[in-house]
């Protein structure tokens, strides 16, 4: 559940088979490293948006008003 952004980004990067067709061995490229680092902002964006939506709905359901601290 936690690592799905990296799995998604890695699945978009093509791999090169350096083995045989019966015994495949896939080699990573520099694009795999880029996909790894891109997965962190993607996770931050998705989890942040989901958290915001959850708390906004929870706030409306329970009738809690936002209070300004002065």
pLDDT in tens, 7-56: 999 999 999 999 999 999 999 999 999 999 999 999 999 999 999 999 99
Asked if pLDDT for residue 70 goes beyond 60, the answer is: no
Pairing state between β 16-17 and 26-27: antiparallel
pLDDT in tens, 40-51: 999 999 999 999
Question: Is the pLDDT score of 66 beyond 80?
Answer: no
Integer angstrom CA distances of residue 18 from 30, 42, 52, 68:
16, 30, 45, 61
pTM above 0.75, yes or no: no
**Is the separation of the CB atoms in 43 and 5 below 8 Å?**
yes
């Amino acid at each position: 559940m936690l690592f799905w952004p990296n799995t998604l980004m890695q699945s978009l990067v093509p791999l090169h088979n350096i083995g045989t067709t019966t015994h495949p061995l896939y080699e990573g490229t520099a694009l795999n490293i880029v996909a790894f680092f891109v997965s962190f902002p993607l996770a931050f964006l998705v989890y942040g948006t989901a958290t915001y939506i959850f708390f906004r709905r929870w706030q409306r359901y329970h009738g809690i008003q936002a209070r300004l601290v002065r």
